Structures are given as C-alpha cells and as structure tokens.
Amino acid sequence: MTGSVVVPLKALAMNMLSLGASLGVLTLVFQFGWFSGLLGFSPTGGLEAWIPVLVFAFAFGLSMDYEVFLLSRIKELHEHGQPCRRAVELGVQRSGRIITSAGLLMVVVFAGFSAGDMLDIKEIGLALAVAIFVDATLVRMLLVPATMTLFGDRNWWAPAWLRRLHARVGLRENQTLPPLAVAAALPGQRGAGDEAGAGAGAVAEAEPVPSGVGG
C-alpha cells in the first residue's frame, strides 16, 4: 500500500506494544491472581496454552486494521503534496474519531466476556479488551503520529528496486485515469454523426410527399 520499508516495520513494532500489554495483564490477573475477587474467579497459577495464541491472532488483526485505516489517510494526503507533518495531523483528524469509536465499541464487547462464568472466556475477553484499548488510544493516537512526525520523509524510504516494483504492481486505493483523447475534426472532414445526419436529410428530401385524396 505504501511502498515503504519503514512503515510496515514500525507497524509491527507498535502492534507488539499493545500485544505485550495485553499478555502482561493476562499473566498478572489470571496467573498471579490480581483482582481475582473483583472478577469472581480462583487463580489456577497458569494459563491455557491456546489462550495467548488466540489473543495474538485476534488482537494483531484488529490492531493492523486500525493501522491500515490511519496510514491510508496519511499516505493519501502525502501523495497530494502535503508535507509529512501536515499529512500526519490531517490524517489523525480525519480518522482519529472513527478509530477511537470502533476501539471503544470492541472494548465494551470484549469486557462483557469478562463477566461470564467460564474462566477461558474471561481470559480471552480481558486480554482482548486491554489490547484494543491500548492500541486505539495510546498506540494509534499518540505513538504512531509521534514516530511518523519524527521520521519525516524517511517514513516513505524504500530501495530503488522495491519502488519500481511498487510502481508496477503495488496496491492503491485510487488511481488517476488519463484524460480521454478527443479527436478534433480536420477542416474539410466531417464526423460520423455529420455524415449520418446528411444521409438522413438526403433520404427525407428524396422521399415524395403523398398528395391529398381528391374529391
């Protein structure tokens, strides 16, 4: 989408922050028993092996979705001639409310899982709620704009061969189509429409007008 090497590496690093916070809270609460009385469960001293894998899959997908939504706006503004700092400002202004609202909705949904009776569902709900909350607020609205402003034009750096490959087969949201070529009629030449009109006029002139019926 961006044709850059820096942007996807930065996105992976930012996703690791929210995932790390989520798995840290998951360990503190369900392995060491923090807030076990509030959540209504008895800690078992460990986690199910498949819980971190499932949390990673869901949280990484949602985090990358927010990242792509934000970067698409910034990249679009940058391609229209805005400097990097201004593109980041306008991109956050245009997509910040949507990302925050979507994140808040998902946090409410996943936090509802924590009110269930099954321990596995509690673990998944709390971990995903923390991951989305951290990602939609701290990461996307603070760390990502700050790092992109700090890097400046280096955000879009890529090797020459990769830029050529992206120019040929890269994915884009929109493409500017070339203007349609309109052939102007040369002096002494008539277009197809003029010839058709002239032919129809000649046929109308050649057709005899029916005479009236005599008494």
Please count the residues of the chain: 215
CA 206 to chain centre: 66
Average confidence (pLDDT) over 168-178: 57
Best-predicted range by mean pLDDT (28-42, 100-114, 195-209): 100-114
Task: Say whether pLDDT at 174 is over 60.
Answer: no
Q: Which of 29-43, 54-68, 86-100, 120-134 has the lowest mean pLDDT?
A: 29-43
Task: Say whether pLDDT at 196 is over 80.
Answer: no
User: pLDDT band at 173, cuts 50/70/90?
Assistant: low
Task: Say whether pLDDT at 163 is over 80.
Answer: no
CB 130 within 8 A of CB 110: no
Q: What is the pLDDT of residue 185?
A: 45
Task: Say whether pLDDT at 198 is over 50.
Answer: no
* Burial (0-12, 13-18, 19+ Cβ within 10 Å), 188: exposed
pTM here is: 0.69
Q: Which of 44-53, 122-131, 133-142, 191-200 has the lowest mean pLDDT?
A: 191-200
Q: Percent of the chain, pLDDT > 70?
A: 76
Q: What amino acid is encoded at 66 in this protein?
A: Y
The DSSP secondary-structure symbol of 155 reads: G
CB 103 within 8 A of CB 136: yes
Q: What is the pLDDT of residue 113?
A: 86
- Number of helical H runs and strand E runs in the chain: 8, 0
Q: What is the pLDDT of residue 132?
A: 92
Stronger pLDDT, 210 or 27, i.e. the higher one:
27
User: pLDDT band at 119, cuts 50/70/90?
Assistant: confident
Residues 167 and 160: their CA atoms lie apart, in Å, by 11
Beta carbons within 8 Å of 68's beta carbon, 6+ residues apart: 1
Mean pLDDT of the chain: 78
Q: What is the pLDDT of residue 129?
A: 93
